[in-house]
């Protein structure tokens, strides 16, 4: 299980969360994704993940393949979900429901995904506690080393109630 804490002033062990997530998702490890940072400040929950510049991950124009970019964004969004809702895994299982991705500029070199939770944590927990199956968006921006945004993505997650 990943690190727990309380929602209001949650303290996150970024290293333990990153190790736990990458351990639980072997595909992310396979392509070389690393979780660089995870922060929780009230309802501001963010994560940063990186993808190295490796020829084995390139597409036909020598940038990261679209599938690798998708994996990077989805992994960053998963880190946000675990940071926000890890303490509630006993009552709900996080699952990605759908994703929307837009490739805006050519990505070259190493890339970085910054993911941000799009709904207040307590609202999601309250809906789950009331017997619902809450959905919540995580917005992701993928940037090149020069800071240019190459890709935007929204991953909608749910917490499926455990029976």
**Residue 149 falls inside a structural domain:** yes
Distance CA 87, CA 85 (A): 5
**Residue 123 falls inside a structural domain:** yes
Helix (H) or strand (E) holding 69: helix 66-85
**Residue 5 falls inside a structural domain:** no
Number of separate domains in the chain: 1
**Residue 4 falls inside a structural domain:** no
Strands of 2-120, DSSP E: 34-41, 44-51, 92-103, 111-117
Distance CA 139, CA 116 (A): 5
Q: What is the CATH number of the domain that holds 153?
A: 3.10.129.10
- The pTM assigned to this predicted structure is 0.90
pLDDT tens by residue, 88-101: 889 999 999 999 99
66 near 59, Cβ under 8 Å?
Answer: yes
Q: What 3-state DSSP class applies to 93? A: strand
pLDDT tens by residue, 3-53: 333 344 456 777 888 888 888 888 999 999 999 999 999 899 999 999 999
**Residue 122 falls inside a structural domain:** yes
**Residues 6+ positions from 137 with CB-CB distance below 8 Å:** 118, 119, 154, 155, 156, 157
Instruction: Identify the domain containing residue 143 by its residue range.
Output: 14-161
């Amino acid at each position: 299980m990943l690190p727990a804490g309380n929602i209001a002033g949650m303290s996150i062990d970024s290293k333990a969360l990153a190790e736990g997530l990458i351990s639980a998702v072997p595909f992310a490890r396979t392509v070389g994704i690393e979780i660089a940072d995870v922060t929780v400040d009230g309802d501001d929950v963010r994560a940063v993940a990186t993808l190295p510049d490796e020829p084995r991950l390139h597409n036909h124009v020598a940038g990261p393949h679209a599938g690798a970019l998708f994996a990077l964004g989805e992994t960053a969004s998963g880190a946000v979900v675990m940071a926000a809702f890890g303490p509630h895994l006993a009552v709900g299982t996080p699952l990605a429901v759908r994703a929307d991705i837009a490739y805006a500029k050519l990505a070259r070199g190493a890339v970085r995904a910054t993911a941000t939770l799009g709904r207040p944590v307590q609202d999601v927990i309250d809906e789950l506690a009331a017997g619902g199956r809450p959905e919540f968006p995580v917005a992701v921006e993928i940037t090149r080393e020069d800071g240019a945004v190459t890709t935007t993505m929204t991953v909608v997650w749910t917490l499926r109630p455990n029976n």
